[in-house]
Amino acid sequence: MGSSQPEPKTTTTRLGIRAFSASVVVNAVLGAWALLSGDFGETEGRVLATTFLISAAMLSVLINAPALRKNVLRPLPEVGAVSSAAGFSLFIVTVWIRNPDEPLIKLAASGLIIGGAATLATALRRIGEPGPARRLRSMTEIAIAALSVTVLAVLWNNGGDEWVARLIGIESIAVAAGTLLIPVLARFGRGTQLPISAEFACPHCGETIDLSSIER
C-alpha cells in the first residue's frame, strides 16, 4: 500500500497560512483580554468580531487553494473562496454599522451559503475516486445545489411555508448522509486490499501467490 505524499505548498499558500496563524493568535489574545479585562467595551467587541471574521475569510481561501491548484471541479474552488471571503467581509461591514440594512445582511449570508456549498462540493470531489460511491457523490452534489437554492429562496423571501421547511430538512439529511458516506466508501470500498495475508500454492507449478496483494 503506497503512502500518500503531502501536497507541495506554494509561496502564496505559505504566506496565507502564516497570515491565518497570526490572525488566530490575535483572536486568542483578544479573547483572553475580554475575559480578564473588566472594561471590555463595544469597540473592543467589534475588533474581536472583525479579527474573527478575517480569520474565517482567510480559512475559506486556504481550504479552496489546493483544489484551485489541481483544477478540481472548476470554477467551484474560485466560487467557494471568493463568495465566502466576500460574505465574511460584508459581515465585517455590518459589525461596524450600528443599524445595518436587512439587504446587506442577506447579501452577506448569501455569500456564505454559496461559498459553503461550493467548498463542500469541491472537498468531496478532492477525496478521490469513490469507487461504488461514484453515483452517490453525484447525487450529493445535486443535493448540495438544491439545498443552497432552497435556503437562498427562503432567505430572500422572508421565510416559507411548512412544506419548504420540510424540504430543507430532507435536503439537509441527504447532504449530511452523502458527506459522511463518501469518505468511508472511498477509503474502504472497491479497490482496498484484503486485510489478512493468505497464500495459495498452485497445484500444477507450485508457485505461491499472496492473495492479500490482489485488490477486490
- For the stretch 8-27, pLDDT in tens is 556 666 766 777 677 677 76
pLDDT value at residue 109: 92
Same domain, 98 and 24: yes
Tell me whether residue 5 is in a domain.
no
C-alpha cell at 93: 461591514
Label residue 149 by pLDDT band (50, 70, 90).
very high
Same domain, 24 and 118: yes
- Distance separating alpha carbons of residues 141 and 174, to the nearest angstrom: 10
- Average pLDDT, integer, range 133-142: 82
- Distance separating alpha carbons of residues 111 and 89, to the nearest angstrom: 10
Of 64, 99, 126, which residue is a domain's last? 126
Q: Is the pLDDT of residue 147 over 90?
A: yes
Same domain, 96 and 147: no
Same domain, 94 and 17: yes
pLDDT value at residue 195: 44
Tell me whether residue 50 is in a domain.
yes
Same domain, 21 and 99: yes
Mean pLDDT of the chain: 75
Same domain, 99 and 149: no
Tell me whether residue 187 is in a domain.
yes
Tell me whether residue 4 is in a domain.
no
Which residues form the domain of 52? 11-126
Cite the beta strand spans of the chain per DSSP E. 199-201, 208-210
pLDDT value at residue 152: 92
Does residue 4 sit in helix, strand or coil? coil
CA distances from 1 to 186, 194, 213 (A): 15, 11, 9
Does residue 215 sit in helix, strand or coil? strand
pLDDT value at residue 146: 92
Tell me whether residue 32 is in a domain.
yes
- Distance separating alpha carbons of residues 199 and 59, to the nearest angstrom: 49
Of 103, 126, 149, which residue is a domain's last? 126
Same domain, 162 and 187: yes
Q: How many domains does the chain have?
A: 2
Q: Is the pLDDT of residue 163 over 80?
A: yes
Tell me whether residue 157 is in a domain.
yes
CB 149 within 8 A of CB 100: no
Give the number of other Cβ atoms within 10 Å of residue 42's Cβ. Answer: 8
pLDDT value at residue 187: 72
C-alpha cell at 108: 452577506
- Distance separating alpha carbons of residues 60 and 36, to the nearest angstrom: 30
Q: Beta strand pairing status for 208-210 and 199-201?
A: antiparallel
Share of the chain above pLDDT 70, in %: 69
Same domain, 107 and 159: no
- Average pLDDT, integer, range 118-123: 88
- Average pLDDT, integer, range 128-157: 83
Q: Is the pLDDT of residue 35 over 70?
A: no
82 CB contacts (<8 Å, ≥6 apart)?
115
Residue type, 165: A
Same domain, 54 and 114: yes
Same domain, 17 and 103: yes
Residue type, 67: A
Same domain, 26 and 66: yes
Of 126, 148, 167, which residue is a domain's last? 126
pLDDT value at residue 129: 60
- Distance separating alpha carbons of residues 113 and 171, to the nearest angstrom: 14
pLDDT value at residue 208: 54
Tell me whether residue 2 is in a domain.
no
For 45-96, how does the pLDDT look when each residue is reduced to its tens digit (9 = 90+)?
A: 787 788 888 888 888 888 877 777 777 767 888 888 889 889 988 988 888 8
Same domain, 57 and 28: yes
Tell me whether residue 6 is in a domain.
no
3-state helix, strand, coil in the chain (%, to 5): 70, 5, 25
